[in-house]
Amino acid sequence: MPDLAARLKLVQSRIAAACTAAGRPPGSARLLAVSKTVDVQTLAAAQQLGVGEFGESYLQEALPKIAALQPPPVWHFIGPIQSNKTRDIAAHFEWVHGVDRLKIAQRLSDQRPPELPPLSVCVQVNISNEASKAGCSPEQTLALCLAIAGLPRLRLRGLMAIPAPLADDADAAAARAPYAALRELAEQVKSRLEPRAAGDFDTISAGMSDDLEAAIAEGSSLVRIGSALFGSRT
């Protein structure tokens, strides 16, 4: 798939350039390919090109892909989490982003199969305080992270956020502001975790196709890229 190869090369170049511009080492921000609505054949082609991590938002769409794609990549669940879906999410994914309630975290911990390693989780923060958006408030984040860090079958890895869309005339400083707030919040949380949990807390999941440069400039270590890699969704 030559178009996929070209798009992947461009995305990788953008990530590398953003790291360089921020004075960060190459590879300090990695690509999470957002694969919802993308067919297995395209994912297999992306895997052949070196993509190793895929993010899915809908469990029923994801499960057949997880079964089909070999060798298995690292699967991230990045969508909203319903209580009745936690058992399958806990069993089939290595990472879960979007944890914003202790109830969901407890279910994921209780339902993580004992033969698997602890489930890596990121707490979703509603960094722009949007009424319609999921995520805990910045003020609630520390307490939630401290509680999750104590759950036996979870590994608290960091924070995730999807800032409010920018106005058309927004400048670079405006684009970076919510990511700066997320980075500062992550630093506060890490400083309050006990040493073992603080050592695991190494991830800021932030930035998408349109704003990965702003996110990386403010410390994102995992950018979630869909349309820039796979094209516009139908």
The pLDDT, as a whole number, for residue 164 is: 82
Best CA proximity match to 203, nearest among 173, 231, 233, 161: 161
Compute, in degrees rounded to 10, the torsion defined by CA atoms 233, 7, 168, 206: 80
107-143: b (≥16 Cβ within 10 Å) or e: bbbeebeeeeeebbbbbbbbbbeeeeeebbebebbbe
- Weakest-pLDDT range from 55-69, 134-148, 161-175: 161-175
Give percent of the chain with pLDDT exceeding 90.
88
In a domain, 100, yes or no: yes
- Give the model's pLDDT for residue 126: 94
Task: List Cα–Cα distances, 196 to 18, 87, 96, 142, in angstroms.
Answer: 30, 26, 20, 16
What is the C-alpha separation between 52 and 48, in angstroms, rounded?
A: 9
Domain contains 13: yes
Does residue 132 surpass a pLDDT of 80?
Answer: no
Q: What is the pLDDT at residue 2? A: 60
CATH (domain of 128) = 3.20.20.10
Q: How do residues 8-57 score in pLDDT, each as one tens digit?
A: 999 999 999 999 999 999 899 999 999 999 999 999 999 999 999 999 99
Query: Is 89 within 8 Å of 105 (Cβ atoms)?
Result: no
Phi and psi based region of residue 23 (left: phi greater than 0; alpha: psi -120 to 50; beta: remaining): left
- Is position 81 within any domain? yes
pLDDT at 1 over 70: no
Whether the per-residue pLDDT at 139 is higher than 90: the answer is: yes
| pLDDT band (50, 70, 90) for residue 234 | low
Confidence (pLDDT) at 170: 72
The CB-side HSE value for 233 (13 A sphere, CA atoms) comes to 10
Does 232 map to a domain?
A: no
Mean pLDDT within 77-106 = 97
Give the number of domains in the chain.
1
- Which residues form the domain of 100? 2-226
Rounded-to-integer distance, Cα 64 and Cα 79, Å: 17
Residue 81 pLDDT more than 70?
yes
CA distance 76 to 83: 17
**Residue 210 forms part of a structural domain:** yes
The dihedrals phi and psi of 209, each to the nearest 5 degrees, come to -55, -40
Examine the pLDDT at 129 and tell me if it is beyond 90: no
Q: Is residue 138 part of a domain?
A: yes
Provide the sign of the torsion angle of the four alpha carbons 103, 107, 108, 110, taken in this order: positive
For residues 60-65, average pLDDT: 97
pLDDT 10s digits, 165-202 = 876 777 878 889 999 999 999 999 999 999 999 999 99
The answer to whether residue 234 sits within a structural domain is no
On whether residue 49 sits in a domain, the answer given is yes
